[in-house]
Amino acid sequence: MALRTPVVVQPKTVRDMPFAETMRDIRIWLDSERIEPVEFKAVVGRVGLGFEIRFRDEHEAERFQERFAPLLP
């Protein structure tokens, strides 16, 4: 079975929460759920600093979106 194109989620940062704290919380959750993203990187956009996470499959991305809905655009 071939690996499908990774699912990309681009969370925004919350103004009241430091960027490093947001990334830490996400990393702790990913580890606790035993999810290893294909890619997890910081990106700079028009509205400031954010990050991009690529998941192997839609199910992992959906679980992330459910847990971190307040961070998603």
pLDDT in tens, the chain (73 residues): 344 555 566 666 666 677 778 888 889 999 999 999 988 887 776 666 777 888 888 899 889 888 988 777 6
CA distance 38 to 49: 20
Q: Are the C-beta atoms of 49 and 19 separated by less than 8 Å?
A: yes
* Residue 15, pLDDT score: 64
